[in-house]
Structure 1
Amino acid sequence: MNAIFTDASFQNMLNVANRYGISSNAVTDLTHCLMNSNGSMAQFNIPELGGGGQWMLGGMTMVGDMFNNQLKYTVDGLCNDLSNLIQQGAIQYKPLPQLKNQQGGFSTNWWGDLGFPNSTGSQNGTSYAIFNNINRLAIQENGKVTIFDTLDNNIGGVGQQQGGNYSVTFTSQYGTVNLNSLPIVSGGENNQPQEIVPQQQGFQNTIVEEAPFAPVINNEPVQEFVEQTSAVEEDIFAKIEKLAGLKDKGILSNVEFDNKKTDLLSRL
C-alpha cells in the first residue's frame, strides 16, 4: 500500500524523530504500522529499532534485543507519542486522488469518499478496506458495497471465514468482529437480528388470541353440588328455627341463642 502522509503529518513525525534521535525513515515505517490499528498496536521489523518487535498501548513492549532496556524505552516512547498524534488526527494519509475513467469522467475507489484506508485486500471475491482512523469498514461483494461503523473496534487482522454472509473475518482488540452487530452506514440491508418463526408447509402464521379462562365443567356434578348446598342451608335454617323456639320457651338465654346462631351461620 503506497499510502502517503500529508505534509503536516510528515512534519509532526519529523519532530518526533528529532526528539528521539531516530531517522525519519524509521519513524515513517513505524507510523505506517501504527496506522493499521489507529495507534493502538504495532508489529514491526525495523533494523534501526532492533529488528522485529511488537508494541501495544498500555501493554508490553518487545524488541529484538530483549535485554536492551534503553531500546525498549525508546520504542515505547516513540509509539506512545505517535499513537497520541494519530488519535488526535495530527497524522493522516493524503486523500486519494480522483481517477479518470474510460468515459472521461472522474471516479474514486470502490469505497467512495472515505479517504485513504489503513489497509485493503481481497479474498475469495470479497474486497475490503479498513479505516480505523474514522471507524469504518468497507466490504465489496458481487459488486455491492457495504459500509460498516466499526464503533470502538481497531481492526488489525483479516482471515478466511467458512460460511456466513462474507468470506472474510476480521479481528480487533476484542477478538473476532461480529459484522452482524455493527451498524450499517450505507449499502446492505438492516442487519439487526430478527426472530424468524418457521412455517409448516400448507399453513400460515397466524396470531391466536387466547380467550379468558373458562373451565369446562360437567353439568351433572354442578347440579349435584347445587342440590347438596341447598340441603345444607335448609338444615341450618331449620336448626336456627328450633333454637328460636327453645329461646322463646326460656330454655335458652338470649346469649346462648346468639352464639349458636352465629356458629350455624358460619357453616354456610
Structure 2
Amino acid sequence: MQKLTTEGQNIVNDLSNRYNLSQNAIIYMIGAVNNGGGSMAQFNCPELGGGGQWMRGGMTMVGDMFNYGLKNTVDNLCNDISNALATTIIFPLAPKGTRESNQWWPGELGNPFSSGAQNSTRYAIFQNRLAVDINGQVTVYDTLDNNISGISQQQGGNDSLTFSSQYGTILVSTLPVVSGANQTNNTTQNNFIEPVKNNFIEPINEPITQPIINNSSISVSNESSKAIIELIEQVASLHKAGILTDNEFNTKKSELLSRL
C-alpha cells in the first residue's frame, strides 16, 4: 500500500467506509484524480466496474454505461477526493522534478499553462515546450510555433500521442526533442502549410511571350505548366482540409495562375 500522511490515512479510512470500497481502491482513485490535476481522472478499478473516466462538473463514464448508480458513486467519490486533495496533504511531499511529485517535469520549465494525464502518460504544456511522462520516462519537446490546445492518446506509447494546434492534429513524436528519454528523435516538425510554401516554383527568369489573343499561344513549357497545375491541386487540398483560409487559397491560386 502506498505511503500516506496521517491526514491522508484518515481520509482513506473515511472514504472506504462511506463508499464500501477497499482502501486499495480508494488509494488508487486518489492517485487517478491527483494525476488529473484534481479536475479529471482516467481509471481502471475492478471495484468500480473496470475502466472509466471522470471530469469535474462534466461527464462521468463507466464500463457499464447504463449503470447510473455506479456513475453517481464514481462522481461523488471523485468530487470528495478532489476536495480532499485541495485542502489536505494525502501523500508525503516528493521533491519537485521526481516522478512521485505533482511537479514531475524539470524545474526550469516553471509552471505549465495546463497539465493532465491519461493511462500511464502525463503531460504539461509550457511556453514553447511540452513535457511528456510515459511510465516514468520524461521527455521535453520544442513546440515550435504550435499553439497547443489539447493532447490525446489512442494507444500506449508516444507514437500515438498527438496534440491539436492551429495546424491540425500532429504527432508529438515529430517535434524536436530538447531533453529526456527520446533524444534520438530530432525530426523537425514541418507545419502542414510549410511544405507547400517551400515547393512553390520560383518565377521563371527567361522572357515569356505574352499570349496572343484569339490564338492562345503560351510560351511556358508543358513541364512547367504541369508542375504549376499540380501545385494548385495541392493548395486546393489544403483549402478543402481547412488548413488554408479562403483568402489564403484565392491569393495563392491567383499567384500560380499568373505563371501560366
TM-score by length of 1: 0.43
Higher RCO (CA < 8 A, seq sep 6+): 1
Larger Rg: 1
TM-score by length of 2: 0.44
